[in-house]
Structure 1
Amino acid sequence: MYTWLELLKNDDYLGIKKYIKSGADLSDTNEVGESVLACALREKCDVDTLMLLIENGADIFDFDEEGVSILDMAITYDYSVIVKHLIAQGKDVNDTTRKSGFTALMAAACYGRVAIAKILLENGADKDIRDMKGFTALDFARKMNKKSILELLEYDENSPKNTGYAR
């Protein structure tokens, strides 16, 4: 995995391409169980590098021991192109691998990823899904004070059900 980490850290597209051609294992993981693709997202590699990994067999449906998926990471690091690609490849925007029930739309709400939230909603994200504690994406947006997301989710602060909240 050391070679992968060095190549990804430097976002070395040509080096990665060469490494793949030499038989590199795209299913390799780091010490905490993150895949090559997850590491590339964390290193904020260029979209071309990410697509090179995906086109050569990186598992787009992978998730770590905590249930954090490639979709979750694409949202965290603001890769709307990758989010669109994952959806086009069949990723269900309402499916979650997290035990808490935390969804992609909830992640977009927490990070204030308006463009990604729009993509998710256009592709069937259910804004009324609740996590294990009973929170919705709107609750996360309100908690994190993400006004653009609140607007997108049509938050009405004067609604009787919302008057008991601090924000």
Structure 2
Amino acid sequence: MNKWLELLKNNDFLGIKKYIKSGANLQETNEAGESVLACALRARCDEDVLTLLIESGADIFDFDDEGVSIFDMAITYDNLWMVEYLLEKGLDVNKTNRKSGFTALMAAACYGRVEIAKKLLEEGASQTAKDVKGFTAIDFARKMNKKSVLKLFNYDANAPKNTGYAR
């Protein structure tokens, strides 16, 4: 995996293309079970590299040992292009592989990913979905004080439970 990490860190399109041609394993994972594509998102590789990996066989529906999917990684690392690509490929905006029930919209709320949250809402993401502790995306946005995301939600700043949070 070290060779992959080096190439991805440098966003080395030609090096990656050459490595793939030489028989590199696109299904290889790091110690956390993250795929090459997940590592590319973490390294903030550009669309050209991501497209090359996908067209070469990287699994866009993969997830790591904790249930963190490529979709989750795209949100975490603020990659709207990848989010839109995955949605075009039929990804269910409300599905999660995480045992906690943490959804894509919850992640967008936590990280303050306004454009991604807008897209998820347009695609039918549920604002009322709850994780195993009973928290919704609105709760996460409140807790993390992401006012710009709260503006997208059905959020009443004057509701008694919200007065100690972002307004």
Q: Which range, TM-score by smaller chain? A: over 0.9
Q: Report the counterpart of residue 32 of structure 2 in structure 1.
A: 32
Letter in 2 for 1:29: T
How far residue 58 of structure 1 moved from its aligned partner, in angstroms, is: 0.5
The separation in 2 between residues aligned to 1:155 and 1:55, in whole angstroms, is 41
Provide TM-score, normalisation by structure 1.
0.95
Residue in 1 that maps onto 2:20: 20
Q: Which residue number corresponds to residue 77 of structure 1?
A: 77
Q: 1:166 aligns with which of 150, 164, 167?
A: 164
- Give me the whole-angstrom Cα distance separating, in 1, the residues matched to 2:102 and 2:164: 22
* Off by >4 Å, runs of 4+ in structure 1: none
How far is 1:40 from its partner? 0.7
SS of match in other structure, 1:152: coil
Structure 1 residues 74-117: Cα deviation after superposition (integer angstroms, max 9, x where no partner): 00000000000011111111000000000000000000000000
State how far apart, in whole Å, the 2-side matches of 1:147 and 1:2 are.
39
| Matched position secondary structure for 2:151 | helix
Give the deviation of 1:59 after TM superposition. Answer: 0.7
**Structure-2-length-normalised TM-score:** 0.95
Map residues 17-166 of structure 1 onto 2, 5 A cutoff.
17-160=17-160, 162-163=161-162, 166=164
Q: For 1:10 and 1:79, locate their aligned partners in 2 and report how far apart those are by CA, in whole Å.
A: 17
Gaps in structure 2 of 5+ consecutive residues: none
Q: Distance in 2 between matches of 1:32 and 1:101?
A: 19
1:159 deviates by 3.0
The one-character-per-residue Cα deviations of 1:12-41 (angstroms, maximum 9, x if unpaired) are 001101111222111011122110001111
Query: How far apart are 1:156 and its partner, in Å?
Result: 0.8
Measure the CA separation in 1 of the matches of 2:18 and 2:82. Answer: 23
Aligned mates of 1:74, 1:8 — CA distance in 2:
15
Mapped partners of 2:27, 2:90: distance in 1: 20
**Identity across matched positions, percent:** 70
Q: How many residues align?
A: 165
Unmatched tracts of structure 1, length 5 or more? none
Find the residue that maps to 2:133 and give its secondary structure. coil
Distance 1:3 1:132 in 2: 38
Paired residue type of 2:78: D
Deviations 1:54-73 (A, max 9, x none): 11111111111111111111
